[in-house]
Amino acid sequence: MRGALQRGMPVLGICRGTQVLNVALGGTLHQHLPDILGHSGHRAGNGVFTRLPVHTASGTRLAELIGESADVPCYHHQAIDQVGEGLVVSAVDVDGVIEALELPGDTFVLAVQWHPEKSLDDLRLFKALVDAASGYAGRQSQAEPR
């Protein structure tokens, strides 16, 4: 993760990828969310996803991509506690659990606790990553000596 960030590579973290990004930048995790919340609403059972409404923070890249709220497929028992250096909270759920983080700036660095791959109705996050990766690849090829 640190290598990708140092190189300015686009990053889309999904579920544990959100946690990896946060910890890589000095953040911490709640190790078992049901102990904090008193319920296990972030996953319906062993291997069973649940859906949760999330609300995005105005002015974030995520809000630009998905709007002010979305109903997302979720399956996690850990969550962000202290946010890593430079990261911005870009979505929370109804319990106040951080569901998305991003790094402001030109480089595409976005991470969501949910599983966008489980809902092919909405491919906006993947399209944004592909667009950012294409731009990154173009810049890299222009920078190579000929």
Is 68 annotated in the active site?
A: no
Task: Exactly one of 15, 74, 99, 102 is catalytic; name it.
Answer: 15
Task: Exactly one of 64, 68, 85, 117 is catalytic; name it.
Answer: 117
Q: How far is CA 70 from the centre of its chain?
A: 14
Task: Exactly one of 30, 76, 115, 144 is catalytic; name it.
Answer: 115
- Which among 32, 31, 62 is positioned nearest to 124, based on CA atoms? 62
Is 117 annotated in the active site?
A: yes
Contacts of 109 (CB under 8 A, 6+ apart): 5, 10, 11, 21, 102, 103
Using DSSP's 3-state secondary structure scheme, residue 134 falls into helix
Is 74 annotated in the active site?
A: no
CB 80 within 8 A of CB 74: no
CB 97 within 8 A of CB 42: yes
Residues annotated as part of the active site: 15, 115, 117
